[in-house]
Structure 1
Amino acid sequence: MIERIFVAPWLSLTRLGEAQILLPLVLVAALWLCWRAGEAAFVRRWLFWLCAAAGLTTASKLAFIGWGWGVEAWDFTGISGHAMFAAASLPGLAWVLARSRGEWMQKCAVGLAFALAALIAYSRLEVGAHSPSEAVLGFVIGSAASLMSLRQAPALRLHPPAWLPAGVLAALMLLPFHAPPSKSHDWVTRLSLQLSGRSLPFHRWEPHRRPAAPKAQSAKQKPAFSITSKPAESS
């Protein structure tokens, strides 16, 4: 009972890293930047680095779920999607939404967004969904995507309308409690099985050993990933 009380806030916070929550907000901000603020070049750069980070994250998950490729010494089975999406999306959103408050407030907002993304990455440990290596790598990759997007960010010629920051903030406060459960992990699992031809996915807590080799070669053929602890469903 006590454990549930302490974990419940982390369960709400960790949902802020879900793609189904963040991607629509990024697209709304991107549409406004293109059609009203005339910043199509920035939008292309932002979406490119976001897609690159998402592609790398998805590839790491496919590799483990379908083929059992991971790093046992790091307890690594795939990059944390929640940590990556939070770090790749929130700083860009903060940069857009805080533009009307002045350059100093804009920089503070971006810094707070990175801090929130780091907290979301840590929440993946608290809810048992990822190991430290997976959460840290997700945050690092997402942060790199944001920094590559924002390093040449222009001074917006048009301040965002009041409805944009109000709508984004309302969504971030309400959707973690009311959005349906994310299906992204199920989709990645199905795709992994289709690509690998397996009927069952690899799991962190299962021993995945290659066929036994002759004793003379056993030193060269190490077992694939094998972890004993069972985490919550990750994404």
Structure 2
Amino acid sequence: MQNFYAMSVSIPFFSNYWHLITRLGEVQYLLPAALGVCLVLIRSDGTRLLAVRWLQTLLIAAFITLASKIAFIGWGIGSARFNFTGVSGHAMFAASIVPLLVATLASRFPQGWQKLAVFLSFALVLLVGVSRVAVGAHSASEVIAGLLLGSTASAMAIAHKGLPRGSWNQYVPMVVLAWLVLAPFQTPQLPTHSLVTWSALQLSGHAKPYTRTDMMREHHARTARQPASDLKGKPFSTG
């Protein structure tokens, strides 16, 4: 991930548009499109179970992501060794939603073309993940965790019933495509981090949120106090 990021920042297009690319993983952008497509899938007997499984796996992935963030902010449960403070929500939502959106939009194409479209969608998902590192929002470990979690969710939905095959009025893909193209420029950014922080403080009863800076400062303080000889052969302590 870090090597890919190092190469991509040297490409003018990527370096100039990271902040736009990263918006492609926002929940207020992806979730309405996913819910809209699920409503279409549920109406057909052949794709109803796929829609249900997709919503189930998406809900589980979202819960794990939220729990990891609350655990760190509220109780400091993370890893200084891997610079991990919680699963990247942008990476998770992109990986769990984009491939199935693309698969549904391409469901009227020959199956070979549909599979190619899904494969290319994962390349876009990876780009969204790299953008989170590029804009300084997440570490590589947090993005990788989000990509793995989201990809598992979408893969489980597809494995249950296969790629969606169906035919519906052309207005469906047109509306979804219009949303996907225009929404990053129109939808406001939601204060999701503030809401998660407030929830973590309410649940933990702490007055201040635990931060990455706190974790790394405590980690450096522990390693500075511990003799170098004691560090050899011992497992790394996480913050």
Smaller-chain TM-score range? Answer: 0.7 to 0.9
Label 1:160 to 1:205 Cα distance change in 2 as closer, same or farther (>3 A).
Answer: farther
Deviates more, 1:59-68 or 1:7-16: 7-16
Q: Aligned to 2:196, which of 188, 195, 200?
A: 188
Measured on the aligned residues, the alpha-carbon RMSD in Å equals 2.7
Cα separation, 2, equivalents of 1:80 and 1:12? 17
Any unmatched runs of 5+ in structure 2? 1-11, 222-229
Cα separation, 1, equivalents of 2:203 and 2:42? 36
TM-score (norm: length of structure 2): 0.82
Q: Which residue of 2 aligns with 1:34?
A: 42
Deviates more, 1:125-134 or 1:109-118: 109-118
TM-score (norm: length of structure 1): 0.83
Q: Counterparts of 1:160-179 in structure 2 under 5 Å?
A: 160-179=168-187
CA-to-aligned-CA distance 1:15-44 (integer Å, 9 cap, x gap): 110111111101000001112455221111
Label 1:185 to 1:165 Cα distance change in 2 as closer, same or farther (>3 A).
Answer: same
Any unmatched runs of 5+ in structure 1? 213-218, 226-235
Cα separation, 1, equivalents of 2:124 and 2:89? 15
Amino acid at match of 2:80: E
Q: Is the 8 A contact 2:50 2:164 kept in 1?
A: no
Label 1:27 to 1:195 Cα distance change in 2 as closer, same or farther (>3 A).
Answer: same
Q: Counterparts of 1:74-223 in structure 2 under 5 Å?
A: 74-154=82-162, 156=164, 158-207=166-215, 209=218
How far 1:158 moved relative to its partner? 3.1
CA-to-aligned-CA distance 1:75-98 (integer Å, 9 cap, x gap): 000000000000000111111110
Q: Which residue of 1 aligns with 2:226?
A: none
How far 1:117 moved relative to its partner? 0.6
Amino acid at match of 2:160: Q
Query: What secondary structure, in the 3-state scheme, does the structure 1 residue paired with 2:18 have?
Result: helix
Amino acid at match of 2:202: Q
Q: Aligned to 1:18, which of 14, 21, 26?
A: 26
Label 1:33 to 1:123 Cα distance change in 2 as closer, same or farther (>3 A).
Answer: same
Amino acid at match of 1:20: Q
Amino acid at match of 1:114: F
Label 1:176 to 1:103 Cα distance change in 2 as closer, same or farther (>3 A).
Answer: same
Q: Is the 8 A contact 1:34 1:43 kept in 2?
A: yes
Cα separation, 1, equivalents of 2:199 and 2:37? 30
- Number of equivalences: 217
Cα separation, 2, equivalents of 1:157 and 1:21? 25
Q: Is the 8 A contact 1:99 1:160 kept in 2?
A: no
Deviates more, 1:77-86 or 1:111-120: 111-120
Cα separation, 1, equivalents of 2:83 and 2:177? 35
Q: Is the 8 A contact 1:83 1:138 kept in 2?
A: yes
Cα separation, 1, equivalents of 2:186 and 2:134? 21
Q: Which residue of 2 aligns with 1:231?
A: none
Q: Aligned to 1:48, which of 52, 56, 63?
A: 56
Q: Is the 8 A contact 2:98 2:121 kept in 1?
A: yes
Q: Is the 8 A contact 2:107 2:165 kept in 1?
A: no
